[in-house]
Amino acid sequence: MSTFGTHFRVTTFGESHCKGVGCIIDGCPPGLALTEDDIQPQLTRRRPGQSNLTTPRDEKDRVTILSGTEFGHTLGTPIGLTVPNQDQRPHDYTETDLYPRPSHADWTYLLKYGLKASSGGGRASARETIGRVAAGAVAEKFLREAYGTEIVAFVSSVGKVAMPFIEEQSETGVPSDEFVELLSTVTREMVDTEATRCPDKEMSKKMTQRIIEAKEANDSIGGTVTCVIRNVPTGLGEPCFDKLEAKLAHAMLSIPATKAFEVGSGFGGTQVPGHLHNDAWVQKVGRKGQKVLGTKTNFSGGIQGGISNGENIYFRIGFKSPATISQEQKTTSYNGVDGVLATRGRHDPCVVPRATPIVEAMAALVIMDAVMIQLARQSAAALLPPMPDTPLRPAPFVMPVPGGLAIKVDEASKPKTE
């Protein structure tokens, strides 16, 4: 389906070579200050033609807000966002009338729908992600203003060229202190200083070389993106089937070209005994100066039992080498006759540099939806008479709303009954 979310719902539309792409956002709270200037920076970070490491397709990706705002603020009604396609070249794809591209979606879309888009990847194209990034920018602004939430993604590997923490974790099974520090301090400004979007300058040079090698060989190469979400409200996630890490995995693996997802210590954590892997509880000071429970280590990645615990959430996504390359490839036509496919068109030799804002957007959509679900539950619970002390709730515990504030309900605001 083309809709993501339950309370904060986003529906994307458009194909790679139609007149435009965009999204409809349903469920955005009213009163959020919002203009195109709040959305454009992330679209600009995602757009093609940024450097010699990306596709040369020249799109400005200028967003227009069609509905849902007045006087620069959201109305609470559906928000329509659109971006025109200006540099389409559908004639570059006539060969796909004869051959399904290897490892692309041409054949599977034909099997599913009985037809396929005749140019580009259609809905399987990365152009579809423009709507996600636009919607994610709206969600992220709400989270930032309401809770101080920060979301930063960066390229952590290209092919076999990887930041040091990846090799270190493969040896120890758990994240290193240096990696934990990076998660706490990395910013988008640091990430964007390098065309690769890797904040490690030395590794970025090696990644650049690897991508250029693939490009000059008319080939492609994959990589990984690491993402951290800081200042996450507690209590987010819906056990059992909509656990927060499950929703994040769903969101990330819906991005084109993704093949792998791990959260916290990930696969490395399977090598570590429990007494070393467990995150011990300690008392900490919250963002507002209040005393809160936190964890001494964070191998869980900020999520336990499918619910956020207030620590940084971090995860890594694997992107395959782009399927469309400019080499001749032996393959078979739609009618089963062997042949050679020589693909034209303009394509990324490696998608991870442009994938970082897409990962950030999908993370924001997951957290925003989870916040609204939790707020709905807690607002309803706050209308009930106070509970007596029972083993269900330890006596010192005060139920927090997302952001760490205790629920207080004005008696006069409760619905009246006759």
- What positions carry a catalytic annotation? 17, 104, 348
Q: Tell me the three state secondary structure of residue 230.
A: strand
- The rounded distance, in Å, linking the Cα atoms of 172 and 179 is 13
For residue 67, count other CB atoms closer than 10 A to its CB: 13
Helix axis angle, 244-253 relative to 352-381, nearest 10°? 150
Task: Specify the DSSP element, H or E, that contains 148.
Answer: none
E-assigned strand segments in 245-377? 258-263, 281-285, 291-295, 303-304, 307-308, 313-319, 328-332, 338-342
What phi and psi, each to the nearest 5 degrees, are found at residue 276?
-95, -25
- The rounded distance, in Å, linking the Cα atoms of 265 and 314 is 9
Strand 313-319 relative to strand 258-263: parallel, antiparallel, unpaired?
Answer: antiparallel
Nearest CA-CA partner of 227 in 359, 103, 72, 133: 359
> Would you say 245 and 303 are in contact if contact means Cβ atoms under 8 Å apart?
yes
Scanning 47-187, the segments in alpha helix (DSSP H) are 106-113, 129-147, 164-172, 177-185
SS3 content of the chain, % helix, strand, coil (to 5): 35, 20, 45
Q: Tell me the three state secondary structure of residue 26.
A: strand
> Would you say 271 and 175 are in contact if contact means Cβ atoms under 8 Å apart?
no
- The rounded distance, in Å, linking the Cα atoms of 254 and 352 is 15
What phi and psi, each to the nearest 5 degrees, are found at residue 339?
-170, -170
- The rounded distance, in Å, linking the Cα atoms of 257 and 104 is 9
Nearest CA-CA partner of 302 in 316, 314, 293: 314
Q: Tell me the three state secondary structure of residue 85.
A: coil
